[in-house]
Structure 1
């Protein structure tokens, strides 16, 4: 497992998803909450792979900085796009290590956060209104639609809508890309699907005896999952052709023909 965790990585990944899940571990006779961080990369060959797993007491931008530094030390020179949750300071941590990387906040995370502040009977209506924002044809129209949504919902449910306005610069980068790339970058669904596989194994274990005990189990799950990921990402030829045009100079020295 340690050999796998420290293995050299490719020099460039077109997209990475970064996220964390919580679990219980026994520590000094008590059961405490810990975070398991995962980084999944999409390579130039169109295949997904778990680049590393990390554990910490809490999810923080400071710790993500150490994770990103580790990835760089293991050989990554460039990340084109990073899709992350809404953790404050995440974009700054990425910029410190990979300054050219485009940071995209996960739309799905933002939707879930908004739904927490609205009564169940109104969720469908709000979801349809927000859909006009992230499914708009371009950034300008998306912002116009967001202001309409804010006018309708903002006074009654400010905590549901205001974060969209405040974080718009980090929520909207996917509008700058063609449809095929948008589909793989505006959500962390890839890493969340991976988390579902982990939970199938971890939910029956209760509290783990240590971080290492959890990491060993997760490592075994990853080895099985990696077999499924040997297939190339759907529509990859179109996606990589678009990446190659948009990021021509950055890909040129890394591309696998």
Structure 2
């Protein structure tokens, strides 16, 4: 900011003009159409920074959505700033993405924040939700004494060494059963989280490491935080959004000229998975199946 501040020789009006031009560019990026392709994988996450609101300095959330397209490339889908990660905030953000044309979503990857999870369930019906395995492991770590952490982490990690979906589920159950006596809280956490943490296993095995955690988007958030640390306290929410979106535009542009996030061959495997899912959904929704369901009520 010093380059545009006192002693730089740049007037306030010039700074305002530059910021206005940047805001126009950022606005075009945040409002662009997403109808050019579909995004089977969508990642959602938030990071927090200090923002001045009137006479107060408060924490504001920047939410970011990224997606993997059917071409196997990554894009930043959107950004927004709000005073909390409430259900209403996340819902408004997701509604905005859908209004811009986001479609074809089959797996949403995020942490287990209650407001986010509820908004995803409402706005992406028919999509699976992948609970970030890294965040889950952190939750488990906090539930056991520090001296037991290595053994518990090692046990859960054995689940992710398998490459067959059935083996992944069986190993999860086995580890949970092993922990039932010594670490009942961990065993219960595993039982409750199984479907969500293992959602990735319904997708091509070559994609598992790409979609079983929020690590890709967290790396982007770390870069936002690194740039934001220079500012320390933003003068207003708009300034926070301006800097953060400028950072993600850089990443977005870089992704367009680098190699695909996932290969063409593996995306063909995903198409097979999606087609099988759609056939199963269509079969379940036939008049005969609906009649059978009503007869059992």
Same structural fold, with TM-score higher than 0.5 when normalized by the shorter chain:
yes
- Assess, with a 3 A threshold, how the Cα gap between structure 1 residues 161 and 34 changes in structure 2: closer, same or farther: farther
1:170-228 superposed Cα distances (whole Å, 9 cap, x missing partner): 11221222311212211111101111111110122211111110111112212322232
TM norm structure 1:
0.87
1:41 aligns with 2:67: yes
Q: Is the 8 Å Cα contact of residues 85 and 116 (structure 2) preserved in structure 1?
A: no
Match of 1:183 in 2: 209
| Equivalent position of 2:4 in the other structure | none
User: Alignment length, in residue pairs?
Assistant: 251
Q: Please say which of residues 125-134 and 147-156 is displaced more in the overlay.
A: 147-156
Match of 1:163 among 186, 189, 195: 189
Q: Deviations over 1:107-151 (max 9, x none)?
A: 111011211233333322221101123333445544443344334
Q: 1:84 matched to which residue of 2?
A: 110
Quick one: distance in 2 between partners of 1:157 and 1:207?
43
Equivalent residue, structure 2, for 1:255: none
Residues 140 and 43 of structure 1: CA distance in aligned 2, closer, same or farther (over 3 Å): closer
Name structure 2 gaps, 5 residues minimum.
1-25, 279-297
The CA deviation at 1:60 is: 2.6
Instruction: Provide TM-score, normalisation by structure 2.
Output: 0.76
2:93 partner SS = helix
Task: Report the secondary structure of 2:144's partner residue.
Answer: coil
User: Which of residues 32, 53, 63 is equivalent to 1:7?
Assistant: 32
Query: Which structure 1 residue ranges, 5 or more long, are not aligned?
Result: 252-257
Aligned twin of 1:232: 259
Distance of aligned partners of 1:247 and 1:117 in 2 relative to their CA distance in 1, 3 Å threshold: same
Higher helix proportion, which one?
A: 2
- CA RMSD, Structure 1 to Structure 2 (Å): 2.4
Match of 2:273 in 1: 246
Equivalents in 1 of 2:178, 2:204: separation in Å? Answer: 30
SS of 2:75 mapped into structure 1: strand
Higher Cα radius of gyration: 2
